[in-house]
Amino acid sequence: MSVPISQMWTVTSYVIKQHLKRRKRYPLVLMLEPLFRCNLACKGCGKIQYPADILKKQLSFEQCMQADEECGAPIVSIPGGEPLLHPQMPQIVEALIKRKKYIYLCTNALLLEKKMDQYTPSKYLSFSIHMDGPEKEHDISVCLNGTYKRAVQAIKKTVERGFRVTTNTTIFDGHDGEHFRGFLDDMMALGVESMMLSPGYSYDKAPDQEHFLKRNQSYKFFRELLYRPKKSWKFNHSPLFLEFIAGSRHFECTPWGNPTYNIFGWQLPCYLLQEGYVPTFKDLMEKTEWHKYGQASGNPKCVNCMVHCGHEPTAVDYTFGSLKGFFATIKGTILGPNIIPPDSEKMPHLPHKKDVPLPVPDMAGVK
């Protein structure tokens, strides 16, 4: 089981309620970014490039509670920056647990062994460890040698202490999906509950702009990685999302599914783009021009984006929004996701507005 039954039930009943209320847009995961500072400086990071006065700032305990209250999503993901640097993080986590929120506390694990005793194991709390692939690839991605070994050590200790532990892996280009299959084996062997995968996003602010996957590169990588997935691999994803990143099906982005709150306010329109801020969650839902985003909009910032925070909520909504989606999810859960063989040239049909030229890259240059 990739998540506890109680979490699955909470999410299922929440989504069904949204459908019964006929809410067209609803949040699934609150992305609560309490600060931007970090103890690493990864080359693909789009969060740590702010000036020192911004990096010093952090959300207060009260702001975190207020954001959770306004949003009402059943899951709270706490990325950053490095959230373990926030002095009130144990109190914030404890209060969210009291509210019965399922929390993913995202960390690069460098401080985890030192700080873990500030937290209590709970079915509501999962440490989500940033692991960008096998040792060599991870250390290159985070720009610090030895980081993989330290994270592995921290994972072992955290699992031993009885915490839920998941991994969170961002994929950049130049990698061979076949080679990463051993990495998935290694993570499961450490005793993690499940793994998350996502193609990287080309943040404007990231120092490295050259190594983000184009859409067809994602298909290629994830077909190599996920074709005939091993039974031992557990993913913290809908099987339909895995089919999406491997190009077996297409989903449009639902950016409202993972609304983001940070020191500037509610971020428009998603976790990745920063097209403005509004003071309330209500404003975010009502004032954002949602039609301007997603692959079909032709927005160049969205054309190659396949990240989980934009598309996993679409997969979940599809599951509960139609019988077809429901049965596809059941099938994918029992038999594993339907992944097209890596040597296939089959591509999903990508919808687009008639007046916008189809901005899909071809396979030229795909390594």
Which one of residues 307, 316, 328, 340 is an interface residue with ligand SF4 (CB under 6 A)?
Answer: 307
Residue 190 near residue 234 (C-beta atoms within 8 A): no
Query: Could you tell me which residues come within 8 angstroms of residue 189 by beta carbon, excluding any fewer than 6 positions away?
Result: none
Looking at the chain, which runs of residues are DSSP E strands? 29-32, 75-78, 102-107, 125-130, 164-171, 194-199, 260-262, 265-269, 274-278
Count of positions on this chain that bind ligand SF4 (CB under 6 A): 27
84 interacts with ligand SF4 by CB under 6 A: no
Tracing tokens 């190599």 back to the chain, one arrives at: 224
Does 206 bind ligand SF4 (CB under 6 A)? Our answer is: no
Contact partners, residue 307, CB within 8 Å, separation at least 6? 198, 199, 200, 201, 271, 272
Cα–Cα distance for residue pair 14/288, rounded to 1 Å: 23
* Smallest distance, ligand SF4 to C-beta of residue 43, A: 9
The yes or no reply on residue 151 touching ligand SF4 (CB under 6 A) is: no
Q: Does 305 bind ligand SF4 (CB under 6 A)?
A: yes
Alpha-carbon separation of residue 145 from 40, 140, 243 (angstroms): 11, 7, 33
* Residue 8 binding ligand SF4, by CB under 6 A: no
Residue 294 near ligand SF4 by CB under 6 A:
yes
> Quick check: 352 binds ligand SF4 (CB under 6 A)?
no
86 vs 130 by CB, closer to ligand SF4: 130
Q: Which one among 41, 330, 356, 358 touches ligand SF4, defined by CB under 6 A?
A: 41
By CB under 6 A, is residue 33 in contact with ligand SF4?
no
* CB-CB contact of 218 with 306 (8 Å): yes
Q: Residues in the site for ligand SF4, rule: CB under 6 A?
A: 38, 40-42, 45, 47-48, 80-82, 108, 130, 142, 253, 255, 269-270, 272-273, 293-294, 301-302, 305, 307, 309-310
